[in-house]
Chain A
Amino acid sequence: MINQVKKFLPPLLGLSLLLNTHSQMYAQSLEEQTVLAALALNIVRFTTWPDEAQTRIKESIDFCVIGDNVVQESFTSINNKVVGNKTLQIVNLSRLRNFEDCHVLYISELKQNILLQVFVDINKHPLLTIGQGYDFAAQGGMVGLENVDGKITLHVNLPVVHESNLNISARLLKLAKIIGE
């Protein structure tokens, strides 16, 4: 039996070594969650909060994350990064409540029925919502990040952004697909 296993191994390993050159193609690519975290940081940098919310933001911008361990791990890469004269503070949420304590809410994945109720809960709070998926923005989120054939596309739902009195810089909007206008 073992001999038969051995028979199969050399061609398999040989084949894989031959094909290994192929991995060079991937070498230029980056891990998705890390890219999403970096994009989220930039989106925060391009966002201004209304005055009354600004005064609530003391020394740090509280960036709340709803996601699994992989997402949480990736977002530690933007923890304590400087945004204007503040620093960004990552807060991992294990419960879907007390959103008003956050300045930014990042949602990696939620069932649709629950996601819709999160948007109802947030209702016009000056809270920047960023999320993953093709319809995150269409369903009522502010900035959606969609992976289209290996590249990230931005979706911005401007009416929702404006209702919450947030402002996203034109430089970022230029790069995004605008929804609702």
Chain B
Amino acid sequence: MINNKKVVIDYYLSLLILCFSPLVIAEKQTEAVDLSVEDLLNVEVTSVAKKAQSLNDAPAAAFVISNDDIKRSGATNIPDALRLAPGLDVARIDANQWAVSSRGFNGRFANKLLVLIDGRNAYSRSFSGVYWENQDVMMEDIDRIEVIRGPGAALWGNNAVNGVINVITKSSSQTQGGLVNAGGGTQEQGFGSLRYGTKLGEDTTARAYVKGFDRSQNTLQSGGKAGDNWDKVQGGFRLDSHLSTQDALTVQGDIYQANINQLAFFSQITSPYQGTQNVKNSDSGGNLLSRLQHTFSPTSDYSLQFYYDNYSHDETMFNDSRDTLDLDFQHRFAMLDWHEIIWGSGYRYGHDRIAGNQLQNGSAPIANINPASVNDQLYSAFIQDELTLINNKLWLTIGSRFEHNDYSGFEGQPSAKIMWTPHNKHRLWAGVSRAVRTPSRAEKSAAIQLGVTPPQALPFPPFSSPPVVTVAQGNSAYMSEEVITYEAGYRTTFSKAMSLDVTGFYNDYRDLRYTSQGTPYFNGNAVVVPLNFTNALSGKTYGVEIATVWQMLDWWRWDVNYSWLQTQLNNMDIVSTSVSPQQRMSLRGAFSPQETIDLDFWLRYVDSNFSVTTLGNITIKDYVTLDLRAAWRPIKDIELSLVGQNLLAPNHLEYVAENQTFPTLINRGMYGKVSWKF
């Protein structure tokens, strides 16, 4: 006990010493303004503290994940990198499925978070959500990931109810030359990527990349291998050209193919009433995007963007393929001396085909969608005005988006926000917004068999009751879900080396999805209990998100995030909504004790959460996990790194999917990586 205390005191002492060391350094610093030009040009300059002090100017709960953050986190995919942001609930279901949401309501098909990759929508209409396993980029070419929590519908459109994620890759002018990455380990069994960027003429740059990986399987909660290993190959290109001093053109595209193993369970109306199957699903897709930007003046420009996206997604229950054509126009200009206006309009055309898959044992498909294929359209327009009420001090931003879609008709999504900067070290903002989550194809027109209760023997043999089948039943009258959000935030830089960002929010939801029990009927083989999708649920969530950065020393940075979320749903007979963890915390330390060495540790705490699944309602225990990374650059363009992920336990449960996937424990993983720039 005494020994323990001594150790604890030692920690605090050493922390204390470390805390004071930057102050000592500050005192030694010479005033730059007193130096001559010659001296100023000779002095070593450092810019490490900039990240710690920069305050976002957006009147929104915005957080930026930089390229360097991603590299130092050791994350090998987009959803894992999103764990760096406060307020996001990221959970890995198994090796190839994730549940990602902002401010609650998590699920594999979390439907209130919009995701854009270089302006291309990754949110699918089919089940209202993102197939995270299909979304990938060359991680080293990401410029930044902008995470906006809260409604972003006024600017970004439908389904940006609780947040928007913008993955933005670098211009090809910033990725010139070659880059080779290769590595492997236990969970990340093997991966490699190659990118090469070059100049194509005076005003044009381009890059091309190819990447691939093989990820190992995890462990079933019930013991045994989870059969969730997968591999993927992806390639793509980006071209950036300055057609004139006023015109810039970007053309980019990607193509991928993945083999995803799935050990799935499903219900069936014949004995043994639940089946499992091991399948290798094939997913593929691609996209092509082009964007033209014309700049009239420093305060006025427009952009015209067009993309085509295609995917074909396969899993035990269903096959979903979709083609999307999208056209977007945006124009920004200043009016009088105090208006900055952005307006735009868009059109999207979609064609899909969704069908239930025949099961290996010959059972009928458990998902049916009728009609199996539809074409849909979306028209939208938006306008936003940023009014400067007091120069450099007070701004009011008002705007709205108006959309018409084939599922819920006309939607208006306004927003009003105010921002006050009493001093350049302080930012205060507040806002109120409305956003909607539009119905999915499944909610409108699917019938999905959820579970089967086996026949019960009756007291007068040989008779027994028929099996009882519960079926989630689409509803053609299903409407949009709606939220009114009230938010306020404060950002400050305490000192040269520390910043703080605090946001509080209150969300008032109505018309949330609920499954109400319809009238049971006998179909000749079984009693069918329909669970109809309705908009009967309402509720509220509120919470606080805190993000701090502390550049303790030039070579040592801390990033600490904490989120607190309270979910209150109206009491209903059937529990039909998952509840996200109340508390999440992330503590990250980035050390560079030598210029050639990086050491990182990342400790995360996630509170218990609650999943509604076809296996029943499951409470997932809280967990603490730790990632470590060490990197060494023996020569300038070569980096060797070693990453350990989820080190504190051999495996742990993060989330249980709504259906198909058995509870899967995520394994501890280690991998090594070599990067070579040429």
Whether B298 and A175, one on each chain, are in contact in the complex, defined by CB atoms closer than 8 angstroms, is no
Stretch at the interface among B34-42, B97-105, B141-149: B34-42
Query: Could you list 7 A-B pairs, sorted by A, with CB under 8 Å?
Result: A16-B556, A35-B43, A39-B37, A42-B40, A69-B425, A77-B31, A151-B42
- Interface, chain B (partner A; CB < 8 A): 7, 10-11, 14-15, 17-18, 21, 25, 28-33, 35-38, 40-47, 49-50, 53-55, 57, 245-246, 248, 293, 295-299, 301, 334, 337, 340, 388, 391-392, 424-425, 427, 493, 496, 553-556, 589, 591, 593-594, 599, 601, 603, 624, 626, 648-649
Q: How far is the CA of A83 from the CA of B582 in the complex (A)?
A: 57
A19 at the interface (CB under 8 A from B): yes
In the complex with contacts A35-B32, A113-B295, A69-B40 CB distance below 8 A: no
Whether B295 and A114, one on each chain, are in contact in the complex, defined by CB atoms closer than 8 angstroms, is yes
Whether A30 and B299, one on each chain, are in contact in the complex, defined by CB atoms closer than 8 angstroms, is no
Q: Give min CB distance, A154 to chain B, whole Å.
A: 7
Whether B297 and A19, one on each chain, are in contact in the complex, defined by CB atoms closer than 8 angstroms, is no
In the complex with contacts A5-B624, A30-B46, A152-B41, A72-B601 CB distance below 8 A: no
| Chain A residues in 8 Å Cβ range of B299 | 95-97
Task: Mark A144-156 against chain B: 1 for CB-CB distance below 8 A, else 0.
Answer: 0001001111100
Q: Give min CB distance, B59 to chain A, whole Å.
A: 14
Q: How far is the CA of A5 from the CA of B603 in the complex (A)?
A: 9
A-B residue pairs, 9 tightest by C-beta: A96-B298, A19-B593, A29-B44, A38-B32, A32-B47, A32-B45, A113-B295, A26-B554, A34-B32
Known: A12-B601, A35-B45, A95-B299. 20 other contacts (CB 8 A): A2-B624, A4-B626, A10-B7, A19-B591, A20-B18, A22-B594, A23-B21, A23-B555, A26-B25, A26-B46, A30-B32, A37-B32, A77-B32, A92-B424, A98-B337, A116-B246, A116-B295, A151-B45, A152-B41, A152-B45
Please pick, from A27, A77, A113, A153, the residue contacting B33 in the complex, using a CB distance under 8 A.
Answer: A77
| Chain A residues in 8 Å Cβ range of B556 | 16
Q: How far is the CA of A18 from the CA of B296 in the complex (A)?
A: 56
In the complex with contacts A23-B554, A38-B40, A31-B334 CB distance below 8 A: no
Query: For chain A, which range describes its interface: under 10, 10 to 19, 20 to 34, or 35 or more residues?
Result: 35 or more
Chain A interface SS verdict (over half): helix
- Interface, chain A (partner B; CB < 8 A): 1-2, 4-6, 8-10, 12-17, 19-20, 22-23, 26-35, 37-39, 41-42, 46, 68-70, 72-73, 77-78, 81, 92, 94-98, 110, 113-114, 116-118, 120-121, 147, 150-154, 172, 175
| Chain A residues in 8 Å Cβ range of B55 | 68-69
Q: Give min CB distance, A14 to chain B, whole Å.
A: 8
Q: Give min CB distance, A44 to chain B, whole Å.
A: 12
Q: Give min CB distance, B555 to chain A, whole Å.
A: 7
Q: Give min CB distance, B433 to chain A, whole Å.
A: 23
Q: How far is the CA of A175 from the CA of B40 in the complex (A)?
A: 11
| Chain A residues in 8 Å Cβ range of B248 | 113
- Closest-by-CB residue of B relative to A93 is B392
- Closest-by-CB residue of A relative to B491 is A69
| Chain B residues in 8 Å Cβ range of A29 | 43-46, 554
| Chain A residues in 8 Å Cβ range of B293 | 113
| Chain B residues in 8 Å Cβ range of A153 | 41
Whether B424 and A72, one on each chain, are in contact in the complex, defined by CB atoms closer than 8 angstroms, is yes
Whether A118 and B298, one on each chain, are in contact in the complex, defined by CB atoms closer than 8 angstroms, is yes
Q: How far is the CA of A42 from the CA of B554 in the complex (A)?
A: 27
Please pick, from B31, B337, B555, the residue contacting A26 in the complex, using a CB distance under 8 A.
Answer: B555
Q: How far is the CA of A19 from the CA of B47 in the complex (A)?
A: 21
Q: How far is the CA of A78 from the CA of B648 in the complex (A)?
A: 51
Q: Give min CB distance, B334 to chain A, whole Å.
A: 7
Q: Give min CB distance, A96 to chain B, whole Å.
A: 4
Q: Give min CB distance, B564 to chain A, whole Å.
A: 20
Q: Give min CB distance, A41 to chain B, whole Å.
A: 6
In the complex with contacts A38-B33, A116-B295, A175-B38 CB distance below 8 A: yes
| Chain A residues in 8 Å Cβ range of B392 | 92, 94
Whether B388 and A95, one on each chain, are in contact in the complex, defined by CB atoms closer than 8 angstroms, is yes
Q: How far is the CA of A116 from the CA of B11 in the complex (A)?
A: 53
Q: How far is the CA of A35 from the CA of B388 in the complex (A)?
A: 31
| Chain A residues in 8 Å Cβ range of B29 | 27, 30
In the complex with contacts A22-B594, A39-B40, A150-B555 CB distance below 8 A: no
| Chain B residues in 8 Å Cβ range of A150 | 44-46
- Closest-by-CB residue of B relative to A21 is B593
| Chain A residues in 8 Å Cβ range of B42 | 151
